[in-house]
Amino acid sequence: MGHRRLSAPRHGSLRYMPRKRSVNIKGRIRNWLDIEGEPQFLGFAGFKAGMTHIAFIEDQETSPFFGKELMKAVTVVETPPMVMFGIKIYQRDEYGLHCKGEILANKLEKQLARKINLPNSDKYDYKKKLKEIKKKVVEKTEVRGLFHTLPKKASIPRIKPDIVEIKISGGANGEERFEFALKSLGKQIRIMDCFDEGELIDVVGITKGKGFQGPVKRFGIKLLPRKTRGTKRGVGCIGPWHPARVMYTVARSGQMGYHQRVEYHKRIMKMSENGEEINPKGGFLKYGLIKGDYIILLGSIPGPKKRLIRLRKTIRPKKRFEVKSPEITYINRQSHQKK
């Protein structure tokens, strides 16, 4: 009889290491795309509402389905306005980025106190702080905006905001980027100010947590034969005699889900401020009705409903992709409660 391969992990099972719980529920963006032209914000944030499907005309000439009507699954993300309450400037050297200064807006919302300790408005000298930070702005200064979300304007059962940092790119130098940031300080920014309809973006989110799971569910290994001693839902051998340790490539039990994942090239199929155009009968299951701004992304994105999703200008631009509003012929709005 020939030897039977028993416990081979599924292809690509070691793609993500280590498989541990994410430190932060809102995700982390490590890299941003540098662009040319006018200064602009490179990202935004929203809340995952749910999925549906649409029919649209394929408008990319590089696609084999060009000119044909396609029906595909889409994800709806509610994107209420975000408030820019601060500016941070960074300097880069051989050791990385270093914060050189920050300034907060004159007026801050009370709900922000649920997240951070707000400075005393009587003692906080805005003009003095502005003079100090302007002296530190040089040509290669990296400028980032401090934003907080407005969950009260979405169907989220909480008031406490999320704080995110978004890079400002473009402009001739750091002073031009800083002046652009000053114009937006203390104001609400909408998603229409950051992205265009039909554009490709990257999505950063934390996947749905599944707790502690065994190697069969976690890595997709095969079940051992019936006469196996000990266990059936495990690997047949956890490694050789030497090296005298269990190697990381062996499928073992552990945390599954609640990992940070980045999905590239998600196309914005629709961007609107009227939730009635997309709300199904009775609202999205486990989310509710969309009240204001929203976007429709082609395909699925990581995370459960109500989770904060960070959006970013794609860091891998496609050269032959044409940015234009797709022609949508049908949006499914049937009840998700099967009524």
Q: Does domain 81-189 have CATH number 3.60.150.10?
A: no
Q: CATH 2.40.30.10: which residues of the chain? A: 7-79+196-239+247-339
Q: What does the alpha-carbon distance between residue 49 and residue 75 come to, in Å, rounded to a whole number?
A: 8
Q: What does the alpha-carbon distance between residue 285 and residue 282 come to, in Å, rounded to a whole number?
A: 8
* C-beta pairs of 29-37 under 8 Å, 24+ apart in sequence: 29/204, 29/310, 29/312, 31/315, 32/167, 32/169, 32/312, 32/313, 32/315, 33/169, 33/312, 33/313, 33/314, 33/315, 33/317, 34/169, 35/169, 35/170, 35/313, 36/170, 37/170
The pLDDT value given to residue 3: 45
Query: Are the C-beta atoms of 200 and 321 separated by less than 8 Å?
Result: yes
Cα distances (angstroms) measured from residue 233 to each of 117, 218, 280:
50, 11, 42
The pLDDT value given to residue 5: 45
User: Which CATH superfamily groups domain 7-79+196-239+247-339?
Assistant: Translation factors (2.40.30.10)
The pLDDT value given to residue 1: 43
Given CA atoms 24, 25, 31, 37 in this order, what sign does their dihedral have? negative
The pLDDT value given to residue 120: 79
- One digit per residue, pLDDT tens: the chain, 339 residues? 444 444 445 544 677 888 999 999 999 999 999 999 999 999 999 999 999 999 999 999 999 999 999 999 999 999 999 999 999 999 988 898 999 999 999 888 888 989 988 887 777 888 888 888 988 888 888 999 999 999 999 999 999 999 999 999 998 889 999 999 999 999 999 999 999 999 999 999 999 999 999 999 999 999 999 998 889 999 999 999 999 999 999 999 999 999 999 999 999 999 999 999 999 999 999 999 999 999 999 999 999 999 999 999 999 999 999 999 999 999 999 998 876
The pLDDT value given to residue 6: 44
Q: What is the DSSP letter of 235?
A: -
The pLDDT value given to residue 13: 64
Query: Are the C-beta atoms of 214 and 252 separated by less than 8 Å?
Result: no
What b/e sequence results for 156-165 when a residue is b if at least 16 CB atoms lie within 10 Å of its CB, and e otherwise? beeeebbebe
Q: CATH 3.30.1430.10: which residues of the chain? A: 81-189
Q: What does the alpha-carbon distance between residue 118 and residue 147 come to, in Å, rounded to a whole number?
A: 14
289 Cβ contact list (under 8 Å, min separation 6): 155, 275, 279, 283
Cα distances (angstroms) measured from residue 76 to each of 51, 80, 280, 326:
6, 13, 11, 16
